[in-house]
Each structure stands twice: as C-alpha cells, then as structure tokens.
Amino acid sequence: MALTILGLSGSLSHDPSAALYIDGKLVAAAEEERFIRDKHAKGRMPFAAAKFCLDFAGIKPHDVDAVAIPFAPISLAEPARWHYARRYWYAPDRALDALFNGNRRYRRYRGRILECLKQLGFDSGKVDLVPVEHHLTHASSAYHCSGFTEKTAILGIDGKGEYATTFFGYGENGRIHKIKEFYDPDSLGGLYGAITEYLGFEMLDGEYKVMGMAPYGDPNKYDFSRLAKFENGELVINTDYANVIGLRRYKEAENGKSRGYFFSPKLIDWLGPRRQGDIADDPYIHYAASMQKLFEDIALQMIDHYLGDILRETGRLAFAGGGALNVKLNQRIIARPDLKELFVQPASGDSGTAIGAASYVSVARGVPVEKMEHVFLGPAYSNEEVIAACEQHPSKPQWQKIDAVPQRVARLLADGQPVAWFQGRMEFGPRALGGRSILGCPSVPGVADRINEQIKFRERWRPFCPSMLDTVGPQMLGSDHPAPFMTFTFAVAPEWKARVPEVVHEDGTSRAQVLRREFNPRYYDLMLEMEKLTGNGVVLNTSLNRRGEPMICSPTDALNMFFGSDLQYLVMEDVLVTK
C-alpha cells in the first residue's frame, strides 16, 4: 500500500500552498497565488493548489492517508505562551488572550482547512488531519529534503509560527531533535520585517528589496545595535522600537483608514519619516545596510552558540524559514571554515511548510522522503494547450511552431532581445529557475535596465541573477558549492564581472543558479548555445511576471503579461509568439 500524504499550508496567513508525497516521492507542489493571480494570496485557502496536486497524481480524496498542516496547538505547560504574555505586558488584552485562549488561531486554522477539504470532496468526518508545529515543518522541509545522511545542524529563522520565531536543532538518522527556540516578540525575522515596512515596502514581500538596497549603503554610518541583542544564549528584540502591537504601533492614514505598522513612533523620532516612493536614497540605503549587517551578525552569533559544535563535527547545515531566503547571510554561512555544505530549502518561506508538514508526517509513519533536487513540481502544458490559448486570446497573437528551440532563442538573446521562456512544469517557491523566466544576454549592455523599465516595471536598483552551466559555476563564482536554487550569493571572479556585467550586483556578487542538465535539459541546452554564440554559458534570468503579480502559471497568464509589457518574444514549449 502506498503512503499518500497531502500537506496544506496557509488558510489564515499568507502564501497558501499544497504538496503531495506518495511513498516518499514529492509528486506535486504548488502555491495558490499562481492559480488565483493574487500575490501571496493572503487569507486564502490552498484550494486550487490542492486540486492541482490531486489531479496531477490522478488520485481521489479517499486515496489520501493523512493531511498534514503546519500549525499545531501549543500547551500552556510550555514556555511559549508565558513568554509572549510577559513580553507583551503593555497590551494586556493580547497577553491574557495568549494565556487563556492561546490556541484560538490553531482552532480557526484547523476549521478552515477542514472546510477547504470538504470543498475538495474529502469526508471531513473521516479525514486524518495531522497538525505539526510550524517550526518543525520548516525544520523538516530543510533537513528531510537535504539528502544529508550525517548528523545535520538545523536552523529556522522566521517571522513567527504559532509563537516560536527561531529554531535550533539537529537531525540524526531521520529524526529531528529540538535544541532551543525563541518566541514572539523576540524575532530576528520579525525585526527585519518591521524595518522593511519602515523602508516603504510590504512586510512578507519586500524583505528581498531591502537586501537588494543594502549594498548601496554604508552599514557603519548608523548604529542599529539598540534594536536587538544576543547575550547569554538569548535573543532580545527592543520592543520600544520594533515588533510592537496594540497602542505602541506607529499609525498612518491610508485611503481614509488608519494603518498600523510593526514599529513604534519612537523609531520615527530616531530615524525620521518612513520612506516613500521608488528611489533608493540617503539615509534609507544606509538604514538598509545597517539592518542587513545586524541581521547577519546576530544570526551568525546564534549559529555559533547553538550549532557550532555540530558544524565542527560534520559541517552540514539545513536552513529554512523566511530568513533563509536572505542570500547575503547564506554567503557568510558558507564562508565559515567549519561548513562543508549548506542546504537551503528553495521554498523557505511559509509556502514551503506544506512540503515540511507532509515530509514530517511521511517520515513519522516510516517512509523516508527523497532528496529535493529540483523545484519543477507545478503544472505543465502541451503544445496543443499552448496553441489553443493563443487561438482564444483576445489580442490575436501571431504564433508559429518552431524546432531547435534552444538555438532559436539563444540567437534572439545574443542579438540583445529579452525573451519570455515558458517551459515544462512550473517552479515551486519564489525563484524562477528556468520554467517560467524572462531571459536576457548578460553581456549586452543595458539589457537589465531595459527589462526593469519596459517589462518588469520595478525599482531600478534591484539586481538580476544569472543561471549558468555547471561547467561555468566554479570559474565564475570561485566555488563548487552546489547552488541549484538561487539561494546563495557568491563573489564574482574579476574576469567574469567584465564578461557578464548585467548580472553582477553593486557589491560584486551574484545570486546564482548553477544548473545540472538532468533536471531541465532544454534550459541547459540553451546555455550551451549561448556559450557557442557569446563565449559565456550564462543567461540573465528573472521571474516571468510583472511587479506586484505572482509568477505566471498558464499559457493564458503568459499571453496576458506579454501583451501588457514591451516584450517582443515569448516562447512556450515549441511555440514562438512575436509582436
């Protein structure tokens, strides 16, 4: 009998998603936002994502052995709720609620998931619904998917789950052991999110923009050390300034309503007004640099304190949670002399907890899960489906079926044209890795600015990333550390900075994807063609979407985006659409 586990995340929070394991194999996984075209799909159910997973695998609700969710009840006998109540003493309604009704959100979460399952055709009386603590799901998504067989240090840095914000543990023989957790409001991820809001971006969406802005500033110009400290094994966030609730929140009028932020008026008194608009300017670039430095420094201190011994023993670290998407921190972790290999879960944020919950339950029921080597887990579309979408589209696209797709597209790229590239199964997680991408030639001057201004409509200072052949990675990045998921930055070798300047950021680094052919042969072959034409087996790769929209899922989504931008070329499977 096959063991079939469906993982569902979201429902009350953001980034709802679904993942399906059958006998330890991750068969399908997808994020709800891609189907309903609402970025982060806040407060939505993972209905369409779950339906896709079941349909893709050809199974019915009664074939599912268990449904795992990344949210669990937290006992009053544990320290989490007491810590929350004590630290939020200034908001007694919230503090008392944590003590007397501390699992209210879990009950709502569970209720909404059961409602979603009912809509999917599950018998809610018979469904085996298994709650897994939020940070254990992050830990499982990192450790169980890493493929590491030795004792492995496990790190989770997040905003918060039920109450926990940070997780230190280790994995051994398939089992996860907890060493230490920190609880809300003592959250490094939460602090980064609060400063993200102060810098004019959306929390849970703009953190990577702060990271992209940081290299333009001087981290030593402003001292942010008052915001957080790590001493005697404890993390303490200064809630006079950030991670605040209730009356301590700074408020601004927005569309006739008052909007509260996760920082206080005291932060404004200290640093000045909240940043507005798209310009990366003084002093905000320095604030971004200072926040990034504080985040890295404290994270490294915490790793050393709780996981240093394990790293010195085996050199293996598995990392997840929203904080694991901070590629600059990851670069510094890889630089540790005791680190042999870092595995960062490619969907480290909350969407990945669907994989985490399902993998945790699979392992607990005696079926280990496979190593996660690629993210091509979403829907794919045939040439016939692509042509049907073209025929039905109101913009009447001009299309033709072509052969030798890698050669044709490489020629367009080498001529300086950006190309929308829609191939195979859609990626799971926030990074476009050659399934739903906009590509450019990184040696063509100005191609990055052109994609920014005419296609992506996003801030000028945001960097673009390279995808490259595995034969190029070690030369360009000076490292043979695996980098399949764009979760690390590397310092670019001087010769390569001159060769592919469009994918090198302000600080001389690139957030790279180093490709092995077996997981995406057509994308790999495209880079081989680029190498023949330009001498560089590298492409500029950014996600196929416009600012504020989720990544493209279907051919119709791709056509809508194509006709809403200045793109001239879109290739979907073997079909080339031109303007």
Model confidence pLDDT, tens digit, residues 286-338 = 999 999 999 999 999 999 999 999 999 999 999 999 999 999 999 999 999 99
Positive or negative, the CA dihedral 334, 336, 340, 344 is: negative
Residue 22, strand partner residues = 4, 25
Q: Answer for the pair 85, 78: CB distance below 8 angstroms, yes or no.
A: no
CA neighbours closer than 13 Å in the CB half-sphere of residue 192: 32
Tokens at residue 541, please?
């790769």
Q: CA 449, CA 462: separation in Å to the nearest integer? A: 10
Cα–Cα–Cα angle for 147, 150, 153, rounded to 5 degrees:
85
Q: Under 8 Å CB-to-CB from 173, ≥6 apart: which residues? A: none
Tokens at residue 261, please?
């932020």
Q: CA 295, CA 48: separation in Å to the nearest integer? A: 36
Calculate the average pLDDT of the chain. 96
CA neighbours closer than 13 Å in the CB half-sphere of residue 283: 15
Tokens at residue 400, please?
């033709």
The pLDDT value given to residue 279: 80
Q: Under 8 Å CB-to-CB from 188, ≥6 apart: which residues? A: 157, 165, 166, 228, 235, 237, 295, 298, 299, 302, 323
Residue 169, strand partner residues = 154, 178
Share of residues in the chain with pLDDT > 90 (%): 94
Q: CA 166, CA 163: separation in Å to the nearest integer? A: 10
The pLDDT value given to residue 278: 80
SS3 for 319?
strand
Q: What is the dihedral of CA 334, 442, 470, 541, to 10 degrees?
A: 80
CA proximity to 424, closest of 276, 550, 572, 203:
572
Tokens at residue 310, please?
């394990």
pLDDT tens digits, the chain, 579 residues: what are they?
Answer: 799 999 999 877 899 999 999 999 999 999 999 999 999 999 999 999 999 999 999 999 999 999 999 999 999 999 999 999 999 999 999 999 999 999 999 999 999 999 999 999 999 889 999 999 999 999 999 999 999 999 999 999 999 999 999 999 999 999 999 999 999 999 999 999 999 999 999 998 899 999 999 999 999 999 999 999 999 999 999 999 999 999 999 999 888 899 999 999 999 999 999 999 888 799 999 999 999 999 999 999 999 999 999 999 999 999 999 999 999 999 999 999 999 999 999 999 999 999 999 999 999 999 999 999 999 999 999 999 999 999 999 999 999 999 999 999 999 999 999 999 999 999 999 999 999 999 999 999 999 999 988 888 887 778 899 999 999 999 999 999 999 999 999 999 999 999 999 999 999 999 999 999 999 999 999 999 999 999 999 999 999 999 899 999 999 999 999 999 999 999 999 999 999
The pLDDT value given to residue 74: 98
Write down how long the chain is: 579
Q: What angle, 0 to 180 degrees and rounded to 10, lies between the N-to-C axes of helices 79-87 and 92-100? A: 170
3-state class percentages of the chain: helix first, strand second, coil last, to nearest 5: 40, 20, 40
Where do we find the tokens 């429902």?
A: 11
> Which fold does the domain 4-78+88-140+348-364 belong to in CATH?
Nucleotidyltransferase; domain 5 (3.30.420)
Q: CA 427, CA 405: separation in Å to the nearest integer? A: 20
Cα–Cα–Cα angle for 124, 129, 135, rounded to 5 degrees:
145
Where do we find the tokens 């600080």?
A: 507
Note the pLDDT tens digit of each residue in 424-433.
999 999 999 9
Q: CATH code for 383-578?
A: 3.90.870.20
Q: CA 165, CA 178: separation in Å to the nearest integer? A: 13
CB burial string 341-365: b at 16+ within 10 A, e below: bbbbbbbbbbbbbbbbbbbbbbbbe
Q: Under 8 Å CB-to-CB from 168, ≥6 apart: which residues? A: 153, 154, 155, 156, 178, 179, 180, 181, 302, 306, 307
Cis peptide before 185 (omega within 30 of 0): yes
Active site residues: 14
Phi, psi torsion values for 137, nearest 5 degrees: -70, -40
Give the residue range(s) of CATH 3.90.870.20 domains in the chain: 383-578
The pLDDT value given to residue 124: 84
Distances (CA, A) of 75 to 70, 122, 214: 16, 29, 40
Q: What angle, 0 to 180 degrees and rounded to 10, lies between the N-to-C axes of helices 47-57 and 104-119? A: 50
Q: Answer for the pair 185, 81: CB distance below 8 angstroms, yes or no.
A: no
Q: Under 8 Å CB-to-CB from 232, ≥6 apart: which residues? A: none
The amino acid at 327: V
Helix ranges, 265-369 (H): 265-271, 284-314, 327-334, 353-364
Where do we find the tokens 């009447």?
A: 396
Tokens at residue 128, please?
């085996």
The pLDDT value given to residue 453: 87
DSSP 8-class letter at 275: P
Paired sense of beta strands 489-491 and 509-511, if any: antiparallel
Give the residue range(s) of CATH 3.30.420.40 domains in the chain: 4-78+88-140+348-364
Phi, psi torsion values for 396, nearest 5 degrees: 50, 65
Q: Answer for the pair 574, 403: CB distance below 8 angstroms, yes or no.
A: yes
Residue 19, strand partner residues = 7, 29
Tokens at residue 167, please?
């997780």
Q: Answer for the pair 424, 407: CB distance below 8 angstroms, yes or no.
A: no
Phi, psi torsion values for 555, nearest 5 degrees: -60, -35
